[in-house]
Amino acid sequence: MQRTLLITGGAGFIGSHVVRLFVNKYPDYRIVNLDALTYAGNLENLADVKDKPNYTFEKGDITDEAFVDQLFTSYQFDGVIHLAAESHVDRSIMDPLAFIRTNVLGTAVLLNACRKYWQDSMEGKLFYHVSTDEVYGTLGAEGFFTEETPYDPRSPYSASKASSDHLVMAYHHTYHLPVIISNCSNNYGSHHFPEKLIPLAIRNIRQNKPVPVYGKGENVRDWLWVEDHARAIDTIFHKGRTGETYNIGGFNEWKNIDLINLLCMIMDKKLGRAPGTSAQLITFVKDRAGHDLRYAIDATKLNKELGWQPSLQFEEGLEKTVDWYLANEEWLQHVTSGAYQQYYEEQYQKR
């Protein structure tokens, strides 16, 4: 094997797309997927690569220092792509400490392991940290987040991701650890856990349940096809400059209510419902605390320096996403059994 890479959080939404891309594209890399399999991690996401000779799964927690040390000793990693995280803003409002533990402490444990195991030679090594545009805070009606935008996180989730980004850069400056960070906008696509807006709405529309829209639905997000994010990570991992940050975005801003209306139209068509049927399910509910108004990424640096650009128009990507969910009801049933029900009731009953 030419290189041994650790991918953390590979059983989650974005991680599973990254693992799939790397396992298939680089048969001479050994890919080790470390995942704790929390409610958000599901090995069914990787059923198509699980038997590939260059793929290994390790169940474990990134906050477990002894376990992470032992993994570094066994595999002698050349690189890390770090995606494992608690990722949902609403859950961070319910239970901030879980986010501090995994996102801050977990990242520090991984950085420490890299520092220890790579101290003799940093040559050819890389710690690639996958982060979010939410570290920049919120925008008004105008402007974009660039790599120079000052950090201003406003939710426990974004604050924990911002802290982890700062730790990554601190290890770069203090210990010369080769690092790269990318900050990406909202992703959508297959295998997305149905606590997030798009898969939750698809599920509820399918089941004729109310589709909860926070506040007046005026908040704006910049949506990117998850496979385009995985491609960007591949490009940056192989061609990016160490010590740098790259913003990744879809150049694709949508107000939540406009997005949900578009989704309702697509669902009407796919389910053979009369136009306007699904939109009747839209229900405005109590707003999220501290709800960031608008995110929009300026991904010019990534485009100019490394030639990356999104491949799909949103309408096409959304239709493909709906098709995937309608064809994979069993997956949806598996991930929403058990603990999901309790979360759903706690989150939406009071709204």
Q: Which residues are catalytic?
A: 133-134, 157
Instruction: Choose between 55 and 145: whose C-beta lies nearer to ligand TYD.
Output: 145
Candidates 6, 7, 12, 310: give the one binding ligand NAD (CB under 6 A): 12
Cβ(99)–Cβ(157) below 8 Å: yes
Write the CA distances from 335 to 39, 42, 78, 235, integer angstroms: 8, 8, 33, 31
Task: Return the HEC string of 10-73.
Answer: CCCHHHHHHHHHHHHHCCCEEEEEEECCCCCCCHHHHCCCCCCCCEEEEECCCCCHHHHHHHHH
Kindly identify the residues of this chain, within the stretch 199-258, that bind ligand NAD according to CB under 6 A. none
**61 is a contact residue toward ligand NAD (CB under 6 A):** yes
Candidates 200, 264, 281, 332: give the one binding ligand TYD (CB under 6 A): 200
d(CA 339, CA 210): 20
d(CA 84, CA 86): 7
Cβ(220)–Cβ(296) below 8 Å: yes
**219 is a contact residue toward ligand TYD (CB under 6 A):** yes
**259 is a contact residue toward ligand NAD (CB under 6 A):** no
**106 is a contact residue toward ligand NAD (CB under 6 A):** yes
Size of the site for ligand NAD (CB under 6 A): 30
Contact of residue 298 among ligand NAD, ligand TYD, none (CB under 5-8 Å per partner type):
none
In the complex, the smallest distance separating the C-beta of residue 259 from ligand TYD, rounded to whole angstroms, is: 8
DSSP state letters, 275-302: TTTGGGGEEEEPPPTT---B--B--HHH
**159 is a contact residue toward ligand TYD (CB under 6 A):** no
In the complex, the smallest distance separating the C-beta of residue 7 from ligand TYD, rounded to whole angstroms, is: 22
**178 is a contact residue toward ligand NAD (CB under 6 A):** no
**Residue among 136, 134, 122 at smallest CA distance from 172:** 122
In the complex, the smallest distance separating the C-beta of residue 199 from ligand TYD, rounded to whole angstroms, is: 9
Cβ(188)–Cβ(179) below 8 Å: no
Contact of residue 200 among ligand NAD, ligand TYD, none (CB under 5-8 Å per partner type):
ligand TYD
Residue 294's beta-bridge partner residues? 139, 220
In the complex, the smallest distance separating the C-beta of residue 188 from ligand NAD, rounded to whole angstroms, is: 8
Instruction: Choose between 118 and 295: whose C-beta lies nearer to ligand NAD.
Output: 295
Instruction: Choose between 270 and 301: whose C-beta lies nearer to ligand NAD.
Output: 301
Which stretch of DSSP H or E encloses residue 238? Answer: helix 226-239
Give the phi and the psi of residue 291 in degrees, each rounded to 5.
-65, 115
The sheet with strand 253-255 has its strands ordered as 186-188, 220-225, 253-255
**106 is a contact residue toward ligand TYD (CB under 6 A):** no
d(CA 297, CA 251): 7
Kindly identify the residues of this chain, within the stretch 166-195, that bind ligand TYD according to CB under 6 A. 186
Instruction: Choose between 197 and 205: whose C-beta lies nearer to ligand NAD.
Output: 197
**196 is a contact residue toward ligand TYD (CB under 6 A):** yes
Kindly identify the residues of this chain, within the stretch 138-177, that bind ligand NAD according to CB under 6 A. 161
How far from each other are the two terminal CA atoms of the chain, in whole angstroms? 53
* Footprint of ligand TYD (CB under 6 A): 89, 186, 196-197, 200, 212-214, 219, 221, 256, 288
* Footprint of ligand NAD (CB under 6 A): 8-9, 11-15, 35-38, 40-41, 61-63, 83-87, 102, 106, 130, 132, 161, 184, 186-187, 193
